[in-house]
Structure 1
Amino acid sequence: MSAVRIIGVPTDYGQDRRGVDMGPSAIRYGGLGAELAAAGVATTDVGDLLVPRAEERDPDYRTPSEGNAKFLRETEEVCTRLADEVANTIADGATPLVLGGDHSVAIGTIGGSARDADVGAIWFDAHGDYNTPTTSPSGNVHGMPVAAAMGYREWDGVEWANAPGLREENFVYVGLRSLDDSEREAIHEGEMTAFTMSDIDERGITDVVEAAISVASDDVEGVHVSLDMDWLDPGIAPGVGTPVRGGVTYREAHYAMERVARSGALRSMEVVEVNPVLDEHNETGELATELAASAFGKKIL
């Protein structure tokens, strides 16, 4: 495993529930450095990107296509800088670990990871994040990063958001359980692979994650892993903005990350949507640190 470079991105532009901008601090406070050290990983923490406060900006700036998407200009500013940081990290021979913030930061992480390479992705999330400015019921960009990176519909040709090296046939969802109708339609029409929580119930986490890694890593230079903490059941991860009952268990989540580490395919990763305002004694922040450490090689024995 290469060295890991930690990059904090304290955004809350992408959703309405405030507090997720404190996610990077909560994850660090939860013992991220110690957990990664226990995994035998050399880490460098470059701190947080400078993110303008949402209160200082106009959320109603509209483009692309004048759809309903809040804080797009601010999201572009942050994700453009993040993409450069991620690309430079990979060029330096390190693996970027991005700490969100809301899930809109994934546009920057994937953009940097897929800048000069064909990559696959595994999206551990309750949600599809495949909305566009004209299909989103809320206008929250944290529900749009997959569509943005893929250049879907009005995201097509939006240079700062598109990730040409992200191959749709190597994109895999794991653990879906809450989709808008437009997202469901797009997933059915596309070349992506989607495993729902029902698939995990039926096949087991081992089979599903093995299949996901096989698809995501096929004939690419590496795999991006996106871990939204609402992927887990809110009973063990209460500090998230959009909780959905029926998520994965503690051990299922750890197994998934441990299997990612064993694959040797991890190119970049983000952990997002930790909201300490909604958390209980930083339970979700601490769990995020544990799962990140598992993804980078920490084992029980």
Structure 2
Amino acid sequence: MTRPMQQIRLIGAPTDIGASTRGASMGPEALRVAGLQATLESHGLRVLDHGNLIGPANPWQPPVNGYRHLAEVAAWNRTVHDAVYSALTAGEMPMLLGGDHCLAIGSISAVARHCRQMGHPLRVLWLDAHADFNTHALTPTGNTHGMPVAVLCGHGPPELTGIGGTCPAIQPSAVRQIGIRSVDEGEKHFVRQSGLQVFDMRYIDEMGMKRTMKAALAGIDENTHLHVSFDVDFLDAVIAPGVGTAVKGGPTYREAQLCMEMIADTGRMASLDVMELNPALDVRNGTAEVALELVESLFGKSTLMRR
């Protein structure tokens, strides 16, 4: 069963408040410059751009008690939560344009809240080079863009874990991580201890993207709300240099396309984050254009008409 196509609400979140490198704050405009709205509309989709959210500036301060910019990160994520939850309540599909990946705390907490109210099971596909499962005690940097999955699973300060009204917002069993290839030493043990399901690059190398995606999507039914959190550094650094924390050895362009097309085949995607695009590190907006091509595939673009 295919979910009826909703109107897509674009929500820009122009901040790098949780990142280690400045520049992700320009990500939403880079996606717009690449032609995001017009491209989606060319496929018959209904798209409404709500512009950019407003939040505190990046003070660029050192960590305090293991967190950089905690008050500002919390403020941004509350704002993101409210915007995403508003879209879902209105029956629209929120597409969050980041911004750094700490903003997934607000986005996914809103999705989880909506799913609890509607009685829908939630599956989160976390497409990323990093597990983002650090805590204040494990992080080598204090940057909260390395913590959102842990926070969503209840590990973090109440300013963040309480967003959305329920702690934890999700269980690790709701998450499937794909493309992981950079995990901090202490974080590795915590990922294993928590039972997080991770399809790292070795798994993809051994099993191929098709089997990986079949495993990651197993158990989804017509009631499932599928949320995709797409960190652009999921892609190999050769094809996506415009990110703050590029890591070699990621999925190729074709592997990434297959990943997106198999997600589209489910017909269940109901919310989306596009995160960590950093135009300051890009070449002629090429990474934004690649990201846009992959987003097209998430919404059903394919070479042939498929059954």
TM-score of the superposed pair, with normalisation by structure 1 = 0.92
Distance 2:152 2:288 in 1: 27
Deviations 1:7-40 (A, max 9, x none): 0001111113111100000011111112212332
State yes or no: 1:142 paired with 2:140: no
Note the C-alpha offset of 1:220.
6.3
Structure 1 unaligned regions, length at least 5: none
Q: Secondary structure at the match of 2:281?
A: coil
Deviations 1:200-252 (A, max 9, x none): 1111101101111115x369631211111111111100101111110111111
Distance 1:157 1:289 in 2: 30
Give matches, 1:1-301, under 5 Å. Answer: 1-54=5-58, 57=59, 59-60=61-62, 62=64, 67-117=65-115, 118-152=121-155, 158-160=161-163, 164-214=168-218, 217=220, 221-301=224-304
Distance 1:131 1:140 in 2: 9
8 Å CA contact 2:153, 2:169 repeated in 1: no
8 Å CA contact 2:28, 2:98 repeated in 1: yes
- 2:118 maps to what in 1? none
8 Å CA contact 2:227, 2:269 repeated in 1: yes
Is the alpha carbon distance of 1:257 and 1:34 closer, same or farther for their aligned partners in structure 2, counting shifts above 3 Å? same
Aligned-residue sequence identity (percent) comes to 40
Is the alpha carbon distance of 1:109 and 1:202 closer, same or farther for their aligned partners in structure 2, counting shifts above 3 Å? same
8 Å CA contact 1:120, 1:167 repeated in 2: no
Note the C-alpha offset of 1:141.
0.6
Distance 2:36 2:151 in 1: 29
Note the C-alpha offset of 1:154.
5.4
Is the alpha carbon distance of 1:18 and 1:153 closer, same or farther for their aligned partners in structure 2, counting shifts above 3 Å? closer
Is the alpha carbon distance of 1:220 and 1:170 closer, same or farther for their aligned partners in structure 2, counting shifts above 3 Å? farther
Distance 2:57 2:40 in 1: 30
Q: Secondary structure at the match of 2:113?
A: coil
TM-score of the superposed pair, with normalisation by structure 2 = 0.90
8 Å CA contact 1:115, 1:163 repeated in 2: no
Distance 2:153 2:222 in 1: 18
Note the C-alpha offset of 1:153.
5.9
Say how many residue pairs are matched. 294
Distance 1:60 1:158 in 2: 22
Distance 2:171 2:47 in 1: 29
- Aligned partner letter, 1:178: S
Instruction: Name the Cα RMSD after superposition.
Output: 2.0
Is the alpha carbon distance of 1:255 and 1:53 closer, same or farther for their aligned partners in structure 2, counting shifts above 3 Å? same
Is the alpha carbon distance of 1:254 and 1:90 closer, same or farther for their aligned partners in structure 2, counting shifts above 3 Å? same
Note the C-alpha offset of 1:194.
0.7
- Aligned partner letter, 1:240: V
Q: Secondary structure at the match of 1:47?
A: strand
8 Å CA contact 2:161, 2:169 repeated in 1: no
Note the C-alpha offset of 1:265.
1.8
Structure 2 unaligned regions, length at least 5: 116-120
